[in-house]
Amino acid sequence: MRKSNSTFKTAFVSEAGAQLANDDYFAFVELDDYACYVLASGITDFESSEAAKDAVEHLILSFEERPSLAKSTLLRYMEETNERLLSSRSSKRLKASVIMLVTDYEKFRYVTAGNVRLRMYRQGRFILNSSDTSLANDLISKGETDTPIDRHEERHNLYAYLGKKENFSPVVSKKHKLIDADIIMLYSKGLWENVDEQEIDEIVEGASDDPHETVDTLEDVLLSRQPENLNCYTIAAIFINKSYRDPERERKRLRYIKIACIVLVILLIIAIIFYIFSRIHQKKIQEFNTVVAETQQFMDAGSYVRAQDSCKHAIELAQDLGRDKEEALLKSDLMLLDSVVEANEWFNNRHYSSAYEEYLKAMRMSEANDVKIRDYIQTQLDRIEAQLNMTQFMNLGDDLFRKGDYDAAEGMYNKAADRASTIHDPEGREKAFDAIEQVYDKRAEIRKQAEQALDDKKKLAMSDLMNKGDDLLAAGDIEGAQQAYLDARNMADNMADRMATSDALSKVGEARDKKALEERQSAEGIIKANEEIEQIEKQGDDALEAGDYLSARMFYVTAIDRYKATFNEPKVAIVTEKYETAKARFAESQNKKKAASDTEQQARDFYAAKNYAEATATAKQAKEQYEALGMKSKVDEMDILIQQIATDNAIANSL
């Protein structure tokens, strides 16, 4: 339909020039809705090549199968043709420059690879040309050479052509509009190497509506130059005497306008809906902020029931807005308000014990809130305390004691004792002190149970080590048995279990005696035993120097027994003196450890009493004592305790 309503005239000439065979090939096909024009020029160092013909035929066939102006389709035509040339069974590699022009009789697009060219004219004047995919063209574009491309030595050095194995990259133009009287020229290097573009422009400018005359004139000019070694040349002229005009263009334009209007209306509706929802969202945000502010105002004013209702509303708004963080904070506030409101109800109904417990619960939850609500809670607690008598304080303390809140129970018992003193009730005061002692006993019991559980665990481990030593000794592994007994001795010493320590030392001696007995059975064994005794004495010296006085005593005792067995009385006297020195130093070390432990306990007592200044100073003193004793683990414990004291002190100061 498009072809019958347009007038395209095509003429061409293709000759071998001074070559033995023509390596150029031109063909075109004009379908109802599309037309395709292809010019290829073989790239060869031998007499003739079928590359150009194969390339043109394949491109034309590809176009006929799926005609299109799409850029991707044109590139696919070229890539498939390139693969065809590369897979050819010819003994010689096929290569060609090519340009392909596709049109729908209304507009056109071309794709090129190599140095065959396209040149377009409108109203006789040049308006468009293709660019060679050559090094010469790149150098000229970059301004690196002044030599015209038609005479540049790199004009045939191509970076894109059909038959290239890797990085094949043809150039595709954008779409160009066609109007009546447009002229498109396609030509190979045989023409552009010998005829300047200005001459071509002059000939086309004076052309009629017959393309044959233009082609013939250009050929005459080329041949009149009589160039030496004239390359194959092909000249094709496409005269668009009448381009296609779409009769439905106006209808399409109106349809597009309607579609655009519909889309615009839809977008406008979406924008309005978005605006409405945005306004609703903004109103919810404003309402949320207002309700949150009202909640705080009610809390500041002491209207906790109204604050409770307002806080519930704020939580609902936070859920709608997806504000999880604010929702969590508001829920925390609501729990506090619920507790205060419930405590107020107990108070108003004169159930002071229940009210007091609920107010205490609210006070613990109010630590993250402002001072006003804590002041209110404290005021209510004071009012309740003024209403309660000694017996009620005792009952409240008993309830707290049964629930395991020993600190709060102690506080109630102290208040009961104060109230008993105020009313001169010595029996009631004694009863309160007995209850306080009960709290202390309970705490001591809990602490003792924890210590007993730890001791039981250590005793079990120590028993396992002793059994392990017995098994190793029975198996003849005296060294392993000694090590197991030594480990058991160290554990018993840490637990201050003298009997277990003595048993472990006895076992160590037994193991060493057994080993000594075996070695004394031979002369070599005796020599070895003497060397071992000296080594044991040296181990004692090393342990004494390192401050391990228990190990030093153990080694010295073993050495004394061995020296006695060998009747070496001088060495017995010397080692006995060393043993006494180790014993004295051990006693001194134990006293220092006890002093450090007492200092640590004093620091913890100050900390429990919330006397943070004294706790910090005493903990630092204990740390220095442990550092002097080389007890690294205890030094680390003191660092942690000092940090905890500092943290609690900072929290107390902020509150």
Q: Please report where in the chains the tokens 């009149």 appear, as a residue.
A: 224
What average pLDDT score do residues 290-294 get? Answer: 82
Q: How many CB atoms lie within 10 A of CB 234?
A: 25
Rounded to the nearest angstrom, the gap between the alpha carbon of residue 338 and the centroid of all alpha carbons in its chain is 41
CATH numbers and ranges of domains, the chain: 3-246 (3.60.40.10), 281-387 (1.25.40), 449-590 (1.25.40), 593-654 (no CATH)
Rounded to the nearest angstrom, the gap between the alpha carbon of residue 639 and the centroid of all alpha carbons in its chain is 34
Residue 66 has pLDDT above 80, yes or no: yes
- Mean pLDDT rounded to a whole number for the chain: 82
Residue 499 has pLDDT above 60, yes or no: no
Q: How many CB atoms lie within 10 A of CB 310?
A: 24
Residue 29 has pLDDT above 90, yes or no: yes
d(CA 134, CA 155): 6
The pLDDT-based confidence of 65 (bands split at 50, 70, 90) is: very high
What average pLDDT score do residues 435-444 get? Answer: 80
The pLDDT-based confidence of 387 (bands split at 50, 70, 90) is: low
DSSP, res 351: -
The pLDDT-based confidence of 109 (bands split at 50, 70, 90) is: very high
d(CA 173, CA 154): 24
d(CA 256, CA 237): 37
| 458-462, 511-515, 650-654, range with greatest mean pLDDT | 650-654
Q: What is the pLDDT of residue 408?
A: 83
Strands (E), 293-355: none
The 10s digit of each residue's pLDDT in 590-620 is 788 888 888 888 888 888 888 888 888 998 8
- Helix residue ranges, H only, 423-497: 426-474, 478-494
The 10s digit of each residue's pLDDT in 30-49 is 999 999 999 999 887 555 56
Instruction: Give percent above pLDDT 70 in the chain.
Output: 85
Measuring CA to CA, which residue among 70, 57, 49 is closest to residue 28?
A: 57
The 10s digit of each residue's pLDDT in 553-577 is 778 878 888 788 777 888 888 888 8
Token couple for 502? 């003595």
Comparing 258 with 71, which gets the higher pLDDT? Answer: 71
d(CA 84, CA 96): 12
Instruction: State the SS3 of 113-182.
Output: ECCCEEEEEECCEEEEECCCCEHHHHHHHCCCCCCCHHHCCCCCCECCCECCCCCCCCEECCCEECCCCE
Residue 120 has pLDDT above 90, yes or no: yes
Long-range residue pairs from 639-645, CB within 8 A, at least 24 positions apart, any chain: 641/600, 641/603, 641/604, 641/607, 642/616, 644/607, 645/607, 645/612, 645/615, 645/616, 645/619
The 10s digit of each residue's pLDDT in 306-352 is 888 888 888 888 888 888 888 888 777 778 788 888 888 888 886 77
First to last CA, the chain: 91
DSSP, res 3: G
Token couple for 468? 């392990």
Which whole-number Å values give the CA distances from 586 to 347, 539, 543, 590, 631, in the listed order?
A: 64, 16, 12, 6, 15
Q: What is the pLDDT of residue 458?
A: 67
306 class by beta-carbon count within 10 Å (0-12 exposed, 13-18 middle, 19+ buried): middle
The values of phi and psi at residue 171, to 5°, are -105, 130
Residue 210 has pLDDT above 80, yes or no: yes
Residue 63 has pLDDT above 90, yes or no: yes
The pLDDT-based confidence of 510 (bands split at 50, 70, 90) is: low
The pLDDT-based confidence of 500 (bands split at 50, 70, 90) is: very low
The 10s digit of each residue's pLDDT in 375-385 is 787 888 777 76
- Helix residue ranges, H only, 177-248: 189-192, 197-205, 211-224
Q: What is the pLDDT of residue 361?
A: 81
What average pLDDT score do residues 103-132 get? Answer: 94
Residue 14 has pLDDT above 90, yes or no: yes
The pLDDT-based confidence of 212 (bands split at 50, 70, 90) is: very high
Element (H, E) at 187: strand 182-187
The pLDDT-based confidence of 493 (bands split at 50, 70, 90) is: low
The pLDDT-based confidence of 520 (bands split at 50, 70, 90) is: low
Comparing 264 with 476, which gets the higher pLDDT? Answer: 264
| 89-98, 177-186, 361-370, range with greatest mean pLDDT | 177-186
Residue 464 has pLDDT above 80, yes or no: no
Strand partners, 186: 118, 236
Instruction: Give percent above pLDDT 90 in the chain.
Output: 24
Residue 498 has pLDDT above 50, yes or no: no
